[in-house]
């Protein structure tokens, strides 16, 4: 005896058509990438400032690229950059430095990076890469539970003693290997 299939169990023509389109879309060749705009050219030996005033500094390891980044920070942010660098070096003797992705990074040899900072239009954002483990935690939340932020504005001083304590704590934790 032949089995009957009900009309409801058969896929409708619309559903079959949609499925065929999805399969065809997956097989379609990828669209060609749009050509990138050329990077801005530095003027008179000055580093280019990217969006928000963040300096464009070539990737490099050691103190020299970090100092070049700090020297290129615009206006009041330069003083913040110098102070952050001083506090980090004082709190964590022997700290390793690098510039990656146009931001200075600080870390411990073989342990990874624990802090970085970046210029934005109205503030300097300090990123604690293992900030979720710091006590108390830095105030800025991230979508990543282990990352925390501290935004330093021109007209709002930050707690240097607390920052120094965070640096000492962070240097003892495993950092991010990048």
Half-sphere exposure of 168 (CA within 13 A, CB side): 10
∠172-163-83 over CA atoms, to 5°?
A: 115
Per-residue pLDDT of the chain (178 residues; tens, 9 = 90+): 555 555 555 556 676 666 666 666 566 555 666 676 665 566 666 778 887 888 999 999 999 999 999 999 999 999 999 999 999 999 999 999 999 999 999 999 989 999 999 999 999 999 999 999 999 999 999 999 999 999 999 999 899 999 999 999 999 999 998 8
Please check whether residue 176 is in contact with residue 100, taking contact to mean a CB–CB distance below 8 angstroms: no
Nearest to 99 by CA among 133, 54, 140: 54
Half-sphere exposure of 133 (CA within 13 A, CB side): 13
pLDDT of 44 reads 66
Half-sphere exposure of 132 (CA within 13 A, CB side): 10
The Cβ of residue 127 has, within 10 Å, a number of other Cβ atoms equal to: 21
For residue range 62-93, list pLDDT tens digits in order.
999 999 999 999 999 999 999 999 999 999 99
Q: What is the reported pTM?
A: 0.75
- Cα(55)–Cα(37) distance, rounded to whole angstroms? 18
- Cα(107)–Cα(115) distance, rounded to whole angstroms? 7
- Cα(148)–Cα(134) distance, rounded to whole angstroms? 9
Say which residues have a Cβ less than 8 Å from residue 42's Cβ, sequence separation at least 6.
48
pLDDT of 28 reads 55
pLDDT of 11 reads 58
What is the radius of gyration, based on Cα positions, of the chain? 25
- Cα(11)–Cα(159) distance, rounded to whole angstroms? 65
∠85-119-81 over CA atoms, to 5°?
A: 20
Buried residues in 54-66 as b, exposed as e (16+ CB within 10 A): bbebeeeeeeebb
């Amino acid at each position: 005896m032949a089995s009957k299939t009900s009309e409801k169990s058969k896929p409708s023509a619309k559903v079959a058509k949609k499925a065929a389109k999805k399969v065809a879309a997956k097989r379609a060749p990828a669209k060609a990438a749009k050509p990138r705009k050329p990077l801005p050219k530095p003027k008179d030996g000055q580093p280019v400032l990217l969006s928000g005033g963040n300096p464009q500094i070539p990737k490099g390891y050691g103190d020299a690229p970090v100092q070049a980044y700090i020297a290129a920070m615009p206006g009041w942010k330069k003083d913040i950059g110098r102070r952050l660098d001083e506090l980090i070096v004082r709190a964590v003797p022997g700290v390793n430095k690098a510039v990656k992705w146009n931001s200075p990074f600080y870390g411990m040899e073989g342990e990874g990076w624990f802090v970085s900072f970046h210029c934005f239009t109205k503030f300097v954002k300090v990123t604690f890469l293992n900030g979720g483990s710091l006590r108390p935690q830095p105030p800025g939340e991230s979508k990543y539970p282990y990352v925390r932020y501290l935004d330093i504005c021109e007209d709002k001083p930050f707690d240097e003693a607390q920052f120094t304590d965070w640096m000492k704590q962070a240097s003892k934790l495993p950092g991010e290997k990048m």
